[in-house]
Amino acid sequence: MIDTSEVLITHEQIQEMLDKVAAELNRDYAGKPLVVVGILTGAFIFCSDLVRRLEMPVIVDFMQVSSYVGEVSSGVLKIKKDMSFDIAGKDVLIVEDIIDTGRTLALLKEQLLKRGPASLKICTAFDKPDRRVTDLVPDYNGITIPDKFIVGYGLDLDGEYRNFDDIRVVKQE
């Protein structure tokens, strides 16, 4: 049985985080066009909420990537869905739901830099640095969280629980 009754981050705290991150982005990219690349599937809600708070011209695109076979990183990036927009010469922001080990995102960053963006930064809703195995640090971080398995606000467990408007801890009973 799965228990998701413990709320780690409330809906109100998520809204405050969105306002904070959007203010940082609006300051750093004031008047400059920005290509926002949401990482599917987990980041779709965060990406949607975030871009509606941005004041600069924004192009939104999505990618779906993986470097894992089961629960083990293969060290090779597999692009399941590529973006449809050419990022050469553009300011690009990768929007991720959560960063834990950082393996997949480090590989993605390396691949996207080869496409010649003017700049490439990373924004995450939730950062779990205790699990990091790379030196990847997000440029924009919503909320730093402890090493707990969480669901809600786009994050899932086997495709479920994405629809919670808060973040909840998963407990196996």
Provide the percentage of residues in the chain whose pLDDT is more than 90: 85
pLDDT digits (tens, 9 = 90+) for 63-103: 999 865 555 556 678 899 999 999 999 999 999 999 988 98
Average pLDDT over residues 49-64: 98
List Cβ neighbours of 91 (8 Å cut-off, separation of 6 or more): 29, 32, 33, 34, 35, 117, 118, 119, 121
1 vs 168 pLDDT, higher one: 168
Identify the band that residue 42 occupies on the pLDDT scale cut at 50, 70 and 90: very high
> Which of 12-16, 40-44, 67-71, 107-111 is predicted with the least confidence, judged by mean pLDDT?
67-71
Q: How many residues does the chain have?
A: 173
What does each C-alpha distance from 60 to 36, 104, 108 come to in angstroms?
A: 5, 21, 17
Is 158 a catalytic site residue?
Answer: no
List Cβ neighbours of 113 (8 Å cut-off, separation of 6 or more): 120
pLDDT digits (tens, 9 = 90+) for 110-137: 999 999 999 999 999 999 999 899 999 9
Nearest one of 27, 47, 25, 30 to 38, comparing CA atoms: 47
166 CB burial (10 A radius; 0-12, 13-18, 19+) = middle
Sorted by where each starts, the structural domains of the chain and their CATH numbers stand as: 2-172 (3.40.50.2020)
pLDDT at 69: 56
| Catalytic, out of 100, 127, 165, 166 | 100
33 vs 103 pLDDT, higher one: 33
